[in-house]
Structure 1
């Protein structure tokens, strides 16, 4: 979800089945969001990309909280 004055945009995401490890997912979401906004993507696209990054991260059960660009794009390809 992206919220601005007088505007709220809902960006859907995919549910992830357990087991999951949320270590670092918020940090990764924020890093992805800032990075994608920094290269000029729309806010909606940036939130969607950040959701994908966090989804990759929470499926890693070692507490790494990481996601490579290839892993994120792989998830995107699977969803489309």
Structure 2
């Protein structure tokens, strides 16, 4: 991605919020899978199971990014990159 110089200096990805929303989704997907399996709705249980797999994969990626810690961000003394010239 090309840096334009107009990015906020303290911009961060909302990984912690995404983690907690993912945990909320994981709880509901687990509940839905179990509940639909118990009442004899295998298609809905399978759909909730697939959602559970997707949420689990997303949470694994979020946790990986959280454990990596902050990445290098250029400081104020680093000028923005010049956009490529066409023609």
Question: TM-score, structure 1 length as denominator?
Answer: 0.31
More strand by percentage: 1
More helix by percentage: 2
Higher-RCO chain (CA-CA 8 Å, sequence separation at least 6) = 2
Question: TM-score, structure 2 length as denominator?
Answer: 0.29
